[in-house]
Structure 1
Amino acid sequence: MTPGVRNLVLAAVAALVTGAGAVAVLTQPDDPARKITGTNDAAPGLAWSVDAAATYGGAFAEFRDPANGTEYDVGGAGFIEAGDTLITVIGIADSDMSLREPRMYGFDAETGEKRWQAPAAELGGCADSPVDGTLICYTSVAAENPALIGYDIDTGAITRTPSDWMVFAIAAADDRLYVAEGDVESDDVRVHSGTLADPEAHWSRSFAMGTAWESLSPDALDVSHGQGIFALGADLAGFDLVTGEPTWTGELDGCSRTTATSEALVLRVNTDCDGYRVTSTDIRDRTGRTLATTNQPGVHDLVLDEPADDSIPVLMADTAYDRRDGTVRWSSPDLVYTSPDTGEGPNTRGAATAILGDIALLQDYTAHTMSGLDLRTGQRLWRLESDGFATISAWDTNVAVLTDPTGLRAIDPRTGETVWTTPFRAINADSDALTNNGELLARSPGHFVFCAPRTMIALRPLD
């Protein structure tokens, strides 16, 4: 590993490491779900609770997201949903910013029962969904015996596929594996599609693009929105997921960035490094054609992006554009707000934080409000005061669930009304057991899994 890579990783880890605390008790309530004290009848009950330290058998152990790997302690708590198995890493954070003796665990999603555990040292990262019943990871570039590592999602059995590739990204979609490897500093990189046993079984493609190791983005390879997006430094490329055929190329100037959205669209935010001001934003389709562009500021950083279908427009600044042909559908001043002047003049920001079906949830951090907007018409549906501390973390098609330091709160996206609240302290009296520094997933309506560093819980309807 180059010194630049190590320095970049260590700096990122320093910003993300969290403190550890006392061991709590492992709890797995019997079926049915237990009502949580103080919650209303609409609130889901506690199906199960798993404590990281008790499961691991050591104080200060914490959950980590397998997708971020285990070579360094980066990324925070999380898990990967693999059918009826939840896969997560547990390890102990060391003072040198590594994760000591990390282990991969599989838990039954319905009961919280531990199904298996397996060694998980020296992983550079994992795909965020399984392929052919296996979670596939790759060893770090510093590993003595580089390989692709497969964990059977039912048993945890490990399969190794030795490889001399220098893998730097891995992804999965529609039961296919995608692997990016090569020397990024020599513009000598490839993307392969295949299986664990034969990672180039479907196709292999070379790309004349690269960057410095220390500038390598964790989102270099994206296959989750209907096309492949490869981004290295200033270079961009789109490719067909089935054939690997390159479909378009592009560039990022200055401090620009991209965001992928359905169906197979890319939003490119062109940003001047001087003052980090947005100069323009455009939308590209799967052929690289520019559908729409604007020089108006106001970038929408979406935590959730789940449009109902391709009739739902894409938001840029204060305008909604048809995601099929780029025509203007409507405009609304609610889509942007002005942040306070920090010395370089006021800044216009995008207010949308989530696209949920045909509703956009907006947060104005200057006016301290949250509102809902009908994405088909641009009409504001509601507006409420907001403290600004809550983050929209999950949507089960009925309610949007927000997390804050005190617990979970579900709202109706069409009205803004609070449907239920669940305080963390009502689940676990230890104030450190559950925090908002974690991952929340809606598995189905009323069914949620929340993983904080020390505790993972499942909620489900009481009836």
Structure 2
Amino acid sequence: MNTAARWLTDQRRIWIAVLIVAVVAGIAAVVWVNRSPEQPQEVSVSYGRFLISPRLDSTPVPRWTLRAADLSDEPGAVLLAAPQNLGGYYGYSSPMDAGAMIVAATAVPGEPRPGENAGLAVGPVRMHGIDPDTGQVRWTTDVGELVSCREQVFDGQLACHGTHRVLIIEAATGAVLGDHTTDFDVMDVTVRDGVVSVAGRTADWMTAVVTRGTTSDIDATWRRTYPTPISGDPVRPRITQDYFLDGHDHGVRVYDLRTGELLFTGPIAYAFDGGIVASQVFDRGGSAGRVTLLDRNGHPITEVGNASFLLEWYPTATATPPPILTGESAYERTTGRVLWTNAQIGIDEYAGRKSAIQGVVDNTVIVRSLDGSELAGLDLTDGHRIWQQPTPFSNRSRYDGITDASHLILTDGTTVHAINAADGSTAWSMPSPPSGDPRLRSAVKAMGGRMVMVTAQEFTGYAAA
């Protein structure tokens, strides 16, 4: 996300201030429209992100806590920040969600790596599979030197890589399904439905290498190379949804991940699951600029009104895939058709418009106000406001969270609050454990289908009281 700051003109400041006052004045009270005050029924979820399976109607309680010493018998071993940082230690840690299992990584740190904020070099990595209900270690596998694993896990298989290595691990057992050495620098790996896709580049950074195959043979289907079209411009291949991308700015090349064929070139900023991609032309001040939704061949579908920076990284629990929510409208996920418009799904800040969405739970889109003092619930089907409540947080900077399909469970790093999606009331509240590191906020995460609190040196599993 581009966060380059720019100051608004005096006229725009006045206009936004007037708009905010008008909006707040019009929604000062809690509003109920076309919603029953009865308790919500259990939601049948087929689409979810940051989702836990047990419903938490009251304050959950800690069931187990793990630190590095509970996982590894290596002297000096530390918890690494999985899945992204497995090649170095930065003083803090995190496990990763692997479907029905939580996976943590440990290693012994050594000397500082060259470069500012490069962390400490680490030795061979051990991975540990943890039962999310009991905290018991189900397996431990020595996996050697790694760079990172892909955060999104499909079919219970971890897709990891080193500089010249592809490693596929079965999350349920820790079994190594595939371990391959490559003749190119690996930058990205995915595995889904038994298909392994790998993106990397040659040692001079001038040619992208992409393979498509299986866990036992990563280029069984095809292997292709893509020289940079601009002399001296390094390639940057990465995999997203059903595509792999290369290039930057106005020259992002979009390829079909199944065939390796070039689809189109443009200022591509984001790819949504469902096939739609978004082009984004930032304005000269660095704000969101112009956003257009495109089909998989690069043909324009619709222009996004009052565009915002693109990001779908919020808790979601819905019976069907929700619409694309960006700018100030909801767009049907596969066709791009505008379903409804409500400017409250975005926030206009000095650096540009960004998403106001905190989560989508059942049939409610939960958004925050510009100053963070209020939360509002919008009906997912038509966008009208159904409730508005003061935020329960004293720290209004930003929130992270999860959902149990009935509540949006948010934290600001100091406290945790569960917001009823149906009416915006606070179901329960609890303090967050201290992070133990001023650089890191205590976080609430969905792992193994359970609520887990993560601090710098340990993580704790919670369950219903």
**Counterpart selection for 2:201 from 171, 182, 193:** 182
Which of residues 439, 445, 456 is equivalent to 1:453?
456
Alignment equivalent of 2:436, drawn from 432, 438, 444:
432
Please list the CA deviations of residues 193-213 of structure 1 after superposition, one character each: whole Å capped at 9, or x if unmatched.
222320112333444557999
- Looking at structure 1, the residues matched to 410 and 231 of structure 2 have their Cα atoms a distance apart, in angstroms, of 37
Relative to the length of structure 2, the TM-score reads 0.72
AA at the equivalent of 2:389: L
Q: Is 1:246 aligned to residue 249 of structure 2?
A: no
Q: Deviations along 1:141-168, whole A, 9 cap, x unmatched?
A: xxxxx43234453554556323223211
Distance 1:121 1:297, change over 3 A: same
Q: 2:406 aligns with which of 398, 405, 410?
A: 398
Kindly provide the CA deviation profile for residues 7-58 of structure 1, in whole angstroms up to 9, marking residues without a partner as x: xxxxxxxxxxxxxxxxxxxxxxxxxxxxxxxxx9722332321123443458
Tell me how far 1:300 sits from its aligned partner.
5.5
Paired residues for 1:315-354 under 5 Å = 315-339=325-349, 347-354=352-359
Are positions 1:271 and 2:279 aligned together? no
CA distance in 1, matches of 2:203, 2:209: 10
Q: Which residue of 2 aligns with 1:169?
A: 188
Preserved CA contact (<8 Å) 1:126 1:137 = yes
Percentage of identical aligned residues: 19
Specify the alignment match of 1:86 in structure 2. Answer: 102
1:6 — aligned with what?
A: none
5 Å-filtered alignment, 1:43-192, equals 43-56=59-72, 62-73=78-89, 77-91=93-107, 95-96=112-113, 97-101=119-123, 102-128=125-151, 134-140=157-163, 146-158=164-176, 160-183=179-202, 187-192=206-211
Deviation at 1:281, TM superposition (A): 0.7
* Residue 362 of structure 1: aligned partner: 367
Tell me if the contact between 1:395 and 1:442 (Cα under 8 Å) persists in the aligned partners: no
Label 1:439 to 1:424 Cα distance change in 2 as closer, same or farther (>3 A).
Answer: closer
SS in 2 for 1:286: coil
Which letter maps to 2:140? Q
- More contact order relative to length (CA 8 Å, sep ≥ 6): 2
Gaps of at least 5 residues in structure 2 are 1-55, 114-118
Structure 1 residue aligned with 2:290: 280
TM-superposition CA deviations, 1:85-108 (whole Å, max 9, x none):
321212466654124334322222
Secondary structure of 1:123's match?
coil
CA offset at residue 332 of structure 1? 1.9
Match of 2:245 in 1: 230
CA offsets per residue over residues 421-443 of structure 1, 9 Å max, x none?
23234xxxx66399734460164
Per the alignment, do residues 245 and 347 of structure 1 end up closer, same or farther by CA in structure 2, a change over 3 Å counting?
closer
Measured in 2, the distance between the counterparts of 1:271 and 1:175 equals: 38
Map 1:302-313 → 2, pairs under 5 A: 302-304=312-314, 306=316, 308=318, 312-313=322-323
Letter in 2 for 1:172: V
Asked if structure 2 preserves the Cα contact closer than 8 Å seen for 1:171 and 1:179, the reply is: yes
Task: Report what 1:21 is aligned to.
Answer: none
* Conserved? CA contact 1:292–1:321, under 8 Å: no
**Equivalent residue number for residue 262 of structure 1:** 273
2:207 partner letter: D
Aligned partners of 1:212 and 1:421: how far apart in 2?
Answer: 57
Give, in whole Å, the separation in 2 of the partners of 1:372 and 1:211.
48
Structure 1: how far apart are the matches of 2:153 and 2:380? 33
TM-score calculated relative to the size of structure 1 = 0.73
State how far apart, in whole Å, the 2-side matches of 1:395 and 1:74 are. Answer: 29
CA distance in 2, matches of 1:400, 1:212: 49
Map 1:198-217 to 2 at 5 A. Answer: 198-209=217-228
Question: Which residue of 1 is the match for residue 419 of structure 2?
Answer: 411
What are structure 1's unaligned runs of at least 5 residues?
1-39, 141-145
Shift of 1:379: 0.7
DSSP 3-state at the match of 1:334: helix
Match of 2:106, SS state, is strand
Q: For this pair of structures, how many residues does the alignment match?
A: 397
Give the secondary structure class of the aligned counterpart of 1:160. Answer: strand
- Whichever residue aligns with residue 174 of structure 1, its letter is D
> Equivalents in 2 of 1:450, 1:135: separation in Å?
22
| Aligned-residue CA RMSD (Å) | 3.7
